[in-house]
Chains A and B, each alone.
Chain A
Amino acid sequence: MSRGNISLAALLWLVIAFLVLYPMSILVLQSFKIAETDNWGISNYLGFFQDTYYLKTFGNTLLLSVLVLLTTTLFGVPLAYILARYRHWGKTVFTALILLPIVLPAYAGVFAFIIFFGKYGTLNLLLMETGLFKTPINFIYGIHGLVFIQSLHMLPFIVLGLSAGFTNIDPSFEEAAEVEGAGGFRRFITVTLPLCTPSYLAGAVIVFLWPFTDWLTPMILGQVDFLPSVAYINIAYHFTDVHRKYMGIVAVIVSAVVCISLFLLARWWVERKKYTGLSKGTTSEGRVIEPGPLVKLSAYLYMFFIAGLVLLIPIVLGLSAFSRRWVFEPFPTHWTLENFRVILLETPVLIQNSFVFSGIALLFGIAFGLPAAYIIVRTRVPGRNALDFVITLMLAFPGIAVGVSYLLGFWKGIPLAQYWIIMPLALFARRLPYFLRMAHSSYLQLDISLEEASEVSGAGKLRTFLNISLPLLIKGVLVGVVMFFIMAFQEISTAIFLYRGGWETLPIGIYLNWHRGMEFGIAAAMAFLMIVIAFILLLIISRIAGGILKAAWGPGGT
């Protein structure tokens, strides 16, 4: 173990300590503060759990999680099966469309669905035109709408996990069941599904946690009695009301604790299952079936239905972005570029900020991620596993918790929040795992003897890294770079707590436009712009490395 590695690891720990551990501990510390005194205690927690309102909020969130998980599972299982097992035309296109919500910001979806499914949205207006309905149907305002929108957003995680599972099962397991006489459906229920449990679970936990993180969707739909939304409202609007502020902090912590413990539980369980060797990684394509015509038709219809819902988001936003005063009409009538003129010419600072902040965050991400991947994979420095662990935890840590802890940690004491650099730093901390995991997994696949051969040939460590490792890692690294950038570009949950006048990013612009009076056209145009940017970046990655893409997708989030 060389001294260089140890100092490098120490440096990385210092960064983590400053940008992750310090603000988090301030957050936890604050939650134990007794309001208006200098004393500490658990009174905030007692207050929270004795207040029927907050308890109800907690229950609502739990209920929403269960419903979203049920819905995504119900729709996801057949979808994953079709994608993984049926030989059909357009597999890549459908897969791409169904997975698209991962890179679409959740709030973009909400706006699109309000325009399309809202009280006087396209669908209701069309229905009323037919004369069958006198009054509009409430498609989305209520818990059913939340379940619908969040499920569509989280469906990819179930599909990704399950279809990987369906593809990777050793075909002989199913063949054995077939030989034993288990027919199609029975075999699926008794053998295939149980074998896929670990990969299902990995996705399911991410889905289940989403309602504990997503504060914005409920707010836009006017449903605020959910844990993260309450936390946001209490802290953002009632910072001066000390009691509500502390209730907000406790709500943040409760969400974070739920998220982290479930995440760890699922990880532990999946690891254990993997260890017993249930699913053997086969290199073959897995079982691909040629379905009968009727099954095939239904499969197509089903895929069209889901893909159509996903496509609705960019289409509706696009229509809205290029039109003006689209209200009480099923389709826009006034076409205009006015929205884009406002965004690009009147307030170009939003786009600028988005690119600058995400870009700087990305540079931090690379500067931190490459050495961290090296330390974790290639050295035996003590504490490297803990480093990996902390960084991975950031995947489950709600964005709102990062935001609040930065607000508390960097306002007084270390007054970093007064400088714009806080924005990229926060984005960096929040999206840390995206780049690192990519670099990490491609590093694991890089045969160490390629590097050793270089050292034996007379190259030092740094030279070896530049000449041998980096060129061989570059694909994975680039995918990580793009994913990181997309995710940083869309980030709102953390940024919303930290921005000040002049620091607004595109997502914040969307939020403010909605918040200040339904400037839907401009908000839609901004969302549309973000989708276009994400889409272009995605095209770039799929060019670079098609297969690696899936590996890059971890849990998403606003």
Chain B
Amino acid sequence: MAFIEIKNLFKRFGKVVAVNHIQLEVNKGEMVTLLGPSGCGKTTTLRCIAGLERPEEGDIVIDGKPMLSEGFVQPSKRGIGMVFQNYAVWPHMKVFNNIVYGLKIQRIPRQTIQEKARQVLELTGLNGLEERYPSQLSGGQQQRVALARALVSNPKVLLLDEPLSNLDAKLREELRFEIKSLVRRMGITSVYVTHDQAEAMVISDRVAVMDSGNVVQIGTPQEIYEKPANRFVADFIGTMNFMSGEVVQVLQDTDAVYVRTEFSEKMLCTTPDTTATTPGKKVYASIRPEDVEVFTEPPQARENLFKGTIVHKAYLGNFLYFFVSVDGTMIRVQVPHYVPQEEGQELHLFLNPQKCMILF
């Protein structure tokens, strides 16, 4: 049985449905990320787990104990640690007092408090800052205080709401790895909210992608990236070329289908769901820019080979982006930075049928 079970959770604010009957399970020691665009209900879901919002329907079970169905369990009784987006470090308390606040409330002996605080200060790299007030700390240090405060009492569950979004890019990357290794070492089950897909990919064991109150896909970062469940997920995670078209033929006993697109009568693609694919269905033939193979000379004839013209070239340091027009359809292609082709020149594109999937 999963450590956290979210069952059929539903929460609305007036007319706005923030969380729409979602199901989600988080295993013990696992870090699951809630990923999605702004306003899709990530924070609300997290706050429901914390007990800071009262959902209208559904239940949340933490470590076998229902939080809602057998009477509302107050946030103070749920045994969770939480890191807030704006840190919520108390400005009138020194770092040390911020960190041990929860322990003091639990009436833990002084000796133990000192010991635990020392450990967590060590872990979060805050040694020597105990006697400072939050206003005397940098953003990154305040973030660490928030993390230390959440971790100090060994919570069963750690909740993090965009903990890094207020930091600059460099620090953000550093802390991502720090948080991940710290949480993993302590073996805490955690739910991490972010709208930054790169962050989600790096930090999580599994990702739950949300869209307007629904969880649309749950899976490992790799599954989400390679087998997106629909166009929304594919678009949100990484970059994807979408070529709208219509299924013309389904090949028996395989997952291969032919699709008619604007520039091709028969394009071979892979379908993730053979039963839902029938001739005449409107779909998107989709391929990632880095999966498109390019040739400057016409290669051996094969299926899914198209000729196009480079309309725009963008230099992104370690690689190049070409915007290639194939009969008016724009396809983005990622190539190594040494490819010498210039705007206006021709390219041959091979859209590998294995990598070219159809999405709905």
Write the residues of chain A forming the contact surface with B, with a CB cutoff of 8 angstroms: 1, 447, 449-450, 452-460, 463, 467-468, 471-472
Contacts and interface: CB of A to CB of B under 8 A. Distances in A.
Given A452-B52, A453-B149, A454-B101, A460 B76 contact: yes
A454 B75 CA distance: 9
Given A456-B81, A467-B101, 12 more contacts: A1-B54, A447-B88, A449-B84, A450-B91, A452-B75, A452-B88, A457-B153, A458-B77, A458-B105, A459-B76, A459-B105, A471-B92
B145 to A, nearest CB: 11
A1 B89 CA distance: 26
B86 A449 contact: yes
A453 B52 contact: no
Contacts of A471: 92
Given A452-B52, A453-B82, A453-B149, A458 B88 contact: no
List 6 A-B pairs, minimum CB-CB distance, nearest first.
A457-B102, A449-B88, A453-B88, A455-B75, A456-B82, A449-B84
Contacts of B86: 447, 449
Given A450-B90, A463-B105, A455 B84 contact: no
Contacts of A467: 101
A452 B146 CA distance: 13
A315 B23 CA distance: 75
A71 to B, nearest CB: 45
22 contacts: A447-B86, A449-B84, A449-B86, A449-B88, A450-B91, A452-B50, A453-B82, A453-B88, A453-B90, A455-B51, A455-B52, A457-B76, A457-B101, A457-B105, A457-B149, A458-B77, A459-B76, A459-B102, A471-B92, A472-B90, A472-B91, A472-B92
B128 to A, nearest CB: 23
Most buried by B among A449, A460, A467, A471: A449
Given A457-B102, A472-B91, A452 B84 contact: yes
A315 to B, nearest CB: 42
B159 to A, nearest CB: 8
B254 interface: no
B105 A468 contact: no
Interface in B129-186: 146, 149, 153
B49 to A, nearest CB: 11
B121 interface: no
B66 to A, nearest CB: 19
A467 B74 CA distance: 18
A458 B102 contact: yes
Contacts of B81: 456
Given A452-B75, A459-B76, A460-B76, A468 B102 contact: no
Contacts of B92: 471-472
A457 B50 CA distance: 11
Contacts of A449: 84-86, 88
B106 A458 contact: yes
B31 interface: no
B32 interface: no
B90 A456 contact: no
A458 B92 CA distance: 19
A472 B74 CA distance: 23
B268 interface: no
Interface string B316-349: 0000000000000000000000000000000000
B351 interface: no
Given A449-B86, A463-B105, A456 B75 contact: yes
B259 interface: no
A459 B50 CA distance: 13
Nearest to B155: A456
Nearest to B86: A449
B80 interface: yes
A452 B52 CA distance: 7
Interface string B66-77: 000000001111
Contacts of B84: 449, 452-453
Interface in B10-51: 50-51
Contacts of A450: 88, 90-91
A471 B187 CA distance: 36
B242 to A, nearest CB: 38
A455 B76 contact: yes
Contacts of B85: 449
Nearest to A468: B90
A452 B105 CA distance: 15
B151 to A, nearest CB: 12
A265 B91 CA distance: 40
A384 to B, nearest CB: 15
A154 B1 CA distance: 71
A232 B149 CA distance: 62
Contacts of B90: 450, 453-454, 468, 472
Nearest to A457: B102
Nearest to B75: A455
Most buried by A among B84, B85, B86: B84
Contacts of B91: 450, 472
Most buried by B among A1, A450, A471: A450
Given A449-B84, A449-B88, A450-B90, A456 B50 contact: yes
A471 to B, nearest CB: 5
Most buried by B among A458, A468, A471: A458
Contact of B74 (A453, A457, A460): A460
Nearest to B54: A1
A455 to B, nearest CB: 4
Contacts of B77: 458
B101 A456 contact: no
A452 B90 CA distance: 11
Contacts of A447: 86, 88
A454 B51 CA distance: 13
B100 to A, nearest CB: 10
A385 to B, nearest CB: 14
B280 to A, nearest CB: 50
B72 to A, nearest CB: 9
A270 to B, nearest CB: 26
Contacts of B75: 452, 455-456
Contacts of A453: 82, 84, 88-90, 146, 149
Nearest to B47: A452
A112 B81 CA distance: 64
A30 to B, nearest CB: 42
Most buried by B among A449, A453, A456, A459: A456
B94 to A, nearest CB: 13
Given A447-B86, A472-B91, A472-B92, A455 B74 contact: yes
Contacts of B80: 456
B224 to A, nearest CB: 29
A242 to B, nearest CB: 53
Contacts of A459: 76, 101-102, 105
Contacts of A1: 54
Most buried by B among A455, A457, A460, A468: A457
Most buried by A among B76, B81, B149: B76
A450 B90 CA distance: 6
Nearest to A464: B76
B1 to A, nearest CB: 24
Nearest to A450: B88
A459 B82 CA distance: 14
A447 B92 CA distance: 13
A449 B54 CA distance: 16
Interface in B287-322: none
Contacts of A472: 90-92
A449 B86 CA distance: 8
A425 B82 CA distance: 45
A455 B88 CA distance: 12
A243 B92 CA distance: 62
Contacts of A457: 76, 101-102, 105, 149, 153
Nearest to B76: A458
A472 B102 CA distance: 18
A476 to B, nearest CB: 14
